[in-house]
Amino acid sequence: MTANTIAINQMMDKFDGRHSVWLFGYGSLIYKADFPYLQRRPASIAGWTRRFWQGSHDHRGTPEAPGRVVTLIEEAGAICHGMAYLITPEVFAHLDHREKNGYLRLAMPITFEDRDEVEGLVYIATPDNTAFLGAASEQDIAAHIARSVGPSGPNSDYLNHLATALRELGRHDQHVFEIERHLAALQSK
Ligand code: BEZ
């Protein structure tokens, strides 16, 4: 699948006619909501886990030297914690452009902390997109992040902001915190 997903996402019509839709954020959307929203609530999705397995050609790296950013990978029994935003459909045009590097909008059940559930949307970079990098050890991912930079800034800022935001949410993410630990060790050398 092409890495530029704008056209594919614009054909997604599942929530057409709705005044507002819940969007689940698990990466930069947790700490960087550069769009208007009606409500914001901590939430989770079941059966998916956050992984730094997606290449970033346009934000935290370049086409020649992609950085590493998060996507969601299906895993039975996993719970991914993040932040949900109630947004109006116009906001998707902005997000489709911001997240055009391989991310598809998928419909999915979102669970709030009070266990209320809604069907909402989440952007996921699936393994068949051309920017997908796949699995590596947390140590190798930290080394990759340490040397990557793109138009949105150093890849390390993305990782550190995400780790801080997860801590503020009171959520432990072994994968993210292990990468953060390796990165701090590399940067103190
Ligand atoms: C998110 O924070 O949910 C997100 C991550 C990558 C692409 C789009 C959204």
Q: What is the pLDDT of residues 40-55, one digit of tens each?
A: 999 999 999 999 999 9
- Contact, 67 vs 148, CB < 8 A? yes
Q: What average pLDDT score do residues 168-189 get?
A: 96
Ligand 1 centroid to 14 CA: how many Å?
19
Angstrom distance (rounded) from CA 135 to CA 7: 27
CA of 119 to the centre of ligand 1 (A): 17
Tokens of 184: 């701090």
Query: CA–CA separation, 1 vs 6, rounded Å?
Result: 12
- Rounded Cα–Cα distance for residues 126 and 97 (Å): 17
Would residue 180 show up in a list of annotated catalytic residues for this protein?
A: no
In the predicted model, is pLDDT for residue 8 greater than 70? Answer: no
pLDDT classification of 4: cutoffs 50, 70, 90: low
The domain ranges of the chain are: 6-187
Q: What is the pLDDT of residue 2?
A: 58
**At 128, which amino acid appears?**
D
Ligand 1 pocket test target in 5, 23, 26, 49 with most atoms within 8 Å of CB: 26
Q: What is the pLDDT of residues 116-174, one digit of tens each?
A: 999 999 999 999 999 999 999 999 999 999 999 999 999 999 999 999 999 999 999 99
In the structure encoding, which two tokens stand for residue 80, read together? 């991914």
Contact assessment for residue 155 and residue 149, using Cβ atoms and an 8 Å cutoff: yes
pLDDT of residue 101: 74
Pick the catalytic residue: 64, 75, 99, 168? 99
| 117 residue type, one letter | E
Closest residue by CA, ligand 1 atom 2: 27
What is the number of the ligand 1 atom nearest to the C-alpha of 30? 2
Alpha-carbon gap, residue 1 to 133, rounded angstroms: 14
pTM value > 0.85: yes
**What pLDDT sits at residue 3?**
56
Domain 6-187 -> CATH class: alpha beta
Provide the pLDDT for residue 10.
Answer: 66
Predicted pLDDT at 100: 65
- What's residue 152's pLDDT? 94
* DSSP state at residue 158: H
